[in-house]
Amino acid sequence: MMNAREPDWAYVARSLVKVLAVAAALFLALGAIARVLWVFVDSDERTAQVYGTAARVANPDKRLSYADDDGGLLETTYTLWGEPRRAGRDERVTRYDITEDLFGTVWTSSLDGPSGSLGDAIDSVEEDPEADKELTEKARKTIDGLPQTLDAVAVVEFARSMTTDRLVAFNRRHKLCGGADVSYIYAPSPYYDDSSSDPPLNAVVWNRNMTEGYIRADFSYQCETEPEPALAEFRRWVGLLDEGDDLRAFELDHGWLAETAKAGVVHGLVIDRWKLADLRKLLDDPEVRTVRLADVAFDLGETE
For residue 118, give the H/E element and its range.
Answer: helix 116-123
Q: CA 190, CA 216: separation in Å to the nearest integer? A: 32
Residue 211: what pLDDT? 78
Q: Count CB-CB contacts under 10 A for residue 256.
A: 16
Half-sphere exposure of residue 102, counting CA atoms within 13 Å on the CB side? 12
How far does CA 41 lie from the centroid of its chain? 26
Distance CA 184, CA 150 (A): 22
> What does the pLDDT read at residue 273?
94
Q: Where are the domains of the chain?
A: 116-303
Alpha carbons 62 and 59: distance in angstroms, whole number: 6
pLDDT at 201: 93
pTM reported for the whole predicted model? 0.82
Q: Of 25, 50, 28, nearest to 242 (Cα)?
A: 50
pLDDT of residue 8: 64
Most distant pair of Cα atoms in the chain: their distance: 112
Rounded Cα–Cα distance for residues 140 and 268 (Å): 17
Q: Which of 60, 286, 260, 15 is nearest to 170 (CA)?
A: 286
CA distance 8 to 147: 90
Q: What is the pLDDT of residue 164?
A: 96
- Residues 267 and 127: beta-carbon distance below 8 Å: yes
Query: What's the rounded Cα separation, in Å, for the pair 208 and 223?
Result: 12
Instruction: Check if the beta carbon of residue 201 is closer than 8 Å to that of residue 251.
Output: yes
HEC string of 25-73 equals HHHHHHHHHHHHHHHHHCHHHHHHHHHHHHHHHHCCCEEEEEEEEEECC
Q: Could you give the count of Cα atoms lying within 13 Å of 287 in the half-sphere of its Cβ?
A: 18
* pLDDT tens sequence for the chain (304 residues): 555 555 566 666 676 767 676 666 565 555 544 444 444 445 567 778 899 999 999 999 999 987 766 666 678 888 999 999 999 987 789 999 999 887 888 999 889 899 999 999 999 999 988 888 999 999 999 999 999 999 999 999 999 999 999 999 999 999 988 888 999 999 999 877 666 667 789 999 999 888 766 655 555 667 899 999 999 999 999 999 998 899 999 999 999 999 999 999 999 999 999 999 999 999 999 999 999 999 999 986 655 4
- CA–CA separation, 109 vs 99, rounded Å? 9
